[in-house]
Chain A
Amino acid sequence: MTAARASTIADFLSAEDLAALDRPVGQALGLPGRVFGAEFYALEQRDYFPRIWCPVGFASDIPEPGDAHPVEIAGWPILFVRGADRKIRAFLNVCRHRAMRVVTEPCKGRAHFACGWHSWTYDLEGKLIATPKIGGERAHRDPAFDARDTDLKPVHVAQWLDMLFVNIDGKAPPFEEHIAPLDRLLEPYYDLSPLVRAESWSTVYEGNWKVAVETVLDEYHIPFAHPQLIQGVRQNNHTNACVDGLYVMTSNARIYGDTRESGKAMGYHHNFPRILKADAPEPRSHFVTILPVGAIQTRPNHALMGLFLPDGPDRTNITFVHYYPGDSAHDPALAQAREESVVSWKEVFAQDVPFAIYVHKNHQIRDAAGIGTRMTPVWENGVACFYRSLVNTMRAA
């Protein structure tokens, strides 16, 4: 039997499609609708997600030794574990016996993990330490079964603030090199080190992960889709920038007519300590999409970090975690202010739901209608950057 030839990105994007994406943004075409379907998703699973430093989790999900947290990124099951040495490790969450998922629910304070099926047991460093009954009712070893090379498959892991990244194929450049431009972007403005995890929330977009990410890449739609965000804004100085393969940033310096009312929902609560540095160039807020599926949103006195995790070709699981400096993250006196912030951000993401759903649906048919997508140079460089990064990584596969 011969397998069908594995598909490549060239099966989906012609030289003309690629050239159209690379034109100056005002003349460029976005990727065709077929890259938002199931076939291209299968290719992304193979040629994209394993090859990059991909944000997939939060260190604060496993605060103590023995804590473990399973996640899934585009079908890749990843298990995060904090070891007795407090180090975070990541493994493929696949038992080396007959491929059962070893850990299916987050768990705490474990010394080892036993697979639910046949009880193969791994320690916190992924080493297979026990195979109960493998050799018979009372024999936990079998000379006829070679148990070498049966530890959990480790995955390269890195942490940036609270965000956990994995590089599944282990061939990406060193993480420190990769992430350095993001540090350089935020360092002049913020001291992020005192941030402590507070509230978190999740939602689901019924659309391809790229469409979900697209909804946060531009500020162009704010007045039309989220008018409350600029309520009371008298003047705004908007900037955006991107670094291929790493981030898309939009940033605003807003001057409010009445700061008491207008900035409230967006967390300009004056009773939170500031993370904005005293010597910052100016008070700004930043929304940085950490390519391809992470985000950090910084405000003068708090931050949010989020993930847009693909769950099949037409569904995206979104989680955001709110962070405040030091004790303010858990101060009961500030609980209402924090809750207001959660409510206001959930509202913003709810407002984007129709875009995720209907843009996704239109992508499934628009190639046949001969309709391409366009990007505006002032606002949507980041959209072009996002797609160019994806294509460049996959073409190099």
Chain B
Amino acid sequence: MTAFVTDVTLGAFLSADELAALRRPTGEAIGLPGRAYGEKFFELERGKLFPKSWCAVAFGTDIPEPGDAMPVDLAGWPLMVVRGQDRRVRAFHNICRHRAMRLIGKKCEALGVIACPWHSWTYDLEGRLIATPRIGGETKSSDSAFDTRGLDLKSVAVGEWHDLVFVNIDGKAPPLAKHMKPLDEMMANCDFSDLRKAPESFTLDYPGNWKVSVEGAIEDYHIPWGHPQLNKGAKRGGFALDFAPDCFYANSVVREYTAPQEADPANLQDPRLPRILSPDVSGKIRTLFLNVFPTGGIQSRENFILLGLMLPDGGARTLLRFNAYFKGAAATDPDLAAARQAATAAWRLVLEQDIDFVRAVHDNYQRRDSAGIEAHMAPFWESNVLEFQRNVVNLLDDRT
């Protein structure tokens, strides 16, 4: 058989010269060409990147109770996450083994079974095909001429890290706990114990490719111009970049305030909210924003954390979901609602302020190759953007 679209390789998009340019030192490197942000390249990523990676696709708190289930779309892969009677989270392809109908179309609660709406093939919460009503005629639920063995739902490897639910479609990634170890170590200053999801959560719709969306979120270079409120009352403190290949791409910042009373609610939270970040050796609190490659996001603050999803919807749109987590009763205490809302709203604003950049950069990326215009990255601020792009390329490169 000859090639299908899904058999397209990285070489069809990036020349050897372009790959070499991406691998030069940051100040001399050239970023991914604009064509890497189009629909065709997204097809390649759908076939080769997302199935290989551990990808955050949902929150455990989306399906808190046994029988809760939710459909998720990972870059065009229709999946579902289900909490079983044993309280374990499982993931399956959301595809009936009969004639490929989608099994669930919306979040469901307390399911006993999963029944396909078309011909009622019925699966238990562990994906086993347990009933085929009428398969053998008006009143017969079996047929000796049809062997139902081997027709359980196709499962997908799943793992949980705090409230984030990850899937690995090809099932070949190392165990999630091992994969996330570098992030655990990097976030050692964060006390995850007894963190609870607050009612304050938000969603955003980014009009651009998922990589544009991530790249805009993992560098602080644009803060003074894109989010000036974050520097209000602050003299900039220590700034640091950190990454672990294929796992996370982070930037962190320490802010010291000349006039703390002027600080934006994004930076200065109500002291009644318990602290979750411990100071570093110099006694300073380091907060961070990071991408959990490829679709997760984390914002850590002195007294809360945001866990997020940045899920591609086609090659030109990214859907963001962020949940806020506070320590213990502070997550739900009605007296602290205003404090929680101020904090989460301030970060929602920051992510909203990026929408115009995402749209305009995405649009330019569809054309800039023809104009002969390349992307450059500042070594002090943006080596993580480059590392993120290199990881994309490494996962897509059949030779690596």
The interface stretch among B33-41, B131-139, B356-364 is B131-139
Residues in A neighbouring B338, C-beta threshold 8 A: none
Residues in B neighbouring A202, C-beta threshold 8 A: none
- A370–B118 CA distance with the chains assembled, in angstroms: 21
B373 within 8 A of A: no
- A155–B191 CA distance with the chains assembled, in angstroms: 76
Q: Which of A218, A359, A375 contacts B101 (CB 8 A)?
A: A359
A52 within 8 A of B: no
The interface stretch among A65-73, A158-166, A220-228 is A220-228
- A355–B95 CA distance with the chains assembled, in angstroms: 12
Question: Would you give the 0/1 interface string for A156-187, flagging 1 where the beta carbon is closer than 8 Å to chain B?
Answer: 00000000000000000000000000000000
Residues in B neighbouring A378, C-beta threshold 8 A: 135-137, 140, 143
Contact call A373/B136, Cβ cutoff below 8 A: no
B146 within 8 A of A: yes
- What residues of chain B have their CB less than 8 Å away from a CB belonging to chain A? 1-2, 4-6, 46-47, 51, 76-78, 93-95, 97-102, 105, 117-120, 132-138, 140, 143, 145-147, 151, 154, 169
Residues in A neighbouring B132, C-beta threshold 8 A: 376
29 contacts between A and B (CB under 8 A): A7-B2, A11-B1, A12-B4, A24-B145, A26-B146, A30-B100, A33-B100, A220-B119, A223-B120, A224-B118, A236-B138, A238-B137, A354-B102, A354-B105, A358-B105, A361-B78, A362-B95, A362-B100, A363-B100, A365-B46, A365-B77, A365-B78, A368-B47, A368-B51, A374-B98, A376-B132, A377-B146, A378-B135, A378-B136
Residues in A neighbouring B169, C-beta threshold 8 A: 369
Contact call A355/B101, Cβ cutoff below 8 A: yes
Q: Which of B51, B78, B98, B117 contacts A373 (CB 8 A)?
A: B98
- A375–B121 CA distance with the chains assembled, in angstroms: 12
- A377–B148 CA distance with the chains assembled, in angstroms: 12
| Further 17 A-B residue pairs, CB within 8 A, beyond A34-B4, A378-B137, A378-B140 | A7-B2, A25-B145, A26-B147, A37-B5, A220-B119, A221-B120, A225-B117, A358-B102, A361-B102, A362-B94, A362-B100, A365-B78, A369-B77, A371-B97, A374-B98, A375-B99, A378-B143
**Nearest Cβ distance between residue A355 and chain B, in whole angstroms?**
5
Residues in B neighbouring A7, C-beta threshold 8 A: 2
Residues in B neighbouring A224, C-beta threshold 8 A: 117-120, 133
- What residues of chain A have their CB less than 8 Å away from a CB belonging to chain B? 5, 7, 10-12, 14, 24-27, 30, 33-34, 37, 39, 214, 218, 220-221, 223-225, 236, 238, 354-355, 358-359, 361-371, 373-379, 383
- A30–B133 CA distance with the chains assembled, in angstroms: 21
**Nearest Cβ distance between residue B79 and chain A, in whole angstroms?**
9
Given A361-B78, A370-B154, A376-B135, CB of A354 within 8 Å of CB of B98: no
Contact call B93/A377, Cβ cutoff below 8 A: no
Contact call A369/B93, Cβ cutoff below 8 A: yes
Contact call B77/A26, Cβ cutoff below 8 A: no
Given A11-B1, A12-B1, A224-B119, CB of A377 within 8 Å of CB of B97: no
Q: Which of A30, A34, A365 has the most CB atoms of chain B within a 10 A radius of its CB?
A: A365
Q: Which of B5, B46, B143, B146 has the most CB atoms of chain A within a 10 A radius of its CB?
A: B146
Residues in A neighbouring B138, C-beta threshold 8 A: 236, 238
Residues in B neighbouring A220, C-beta threshold 8 A: 119, 134-135
Given A26-B145, A236-B138, CB of A373 within 8 Å of CB of B1: no
Complex A-B, nearest 9 residue pairs according to Cβ-Cβ distance, in ascending order: A358-B102, A26-B145, A26-B146, A224-B120, A362-B100, A377-B145, A11-B2, A373-B99, A362-B95
Chain A: which residue is nearest B100 at the CB level?
Answer: A362
Residues in A neighbouring B136, C-beta threshold 8 A: 376, 378
Residues in B neighbouring A37, C-beta threshold 8 A: 5
Given A369-B154, A371-B93, CB of A359 within 8 Å of CB of B99: yes
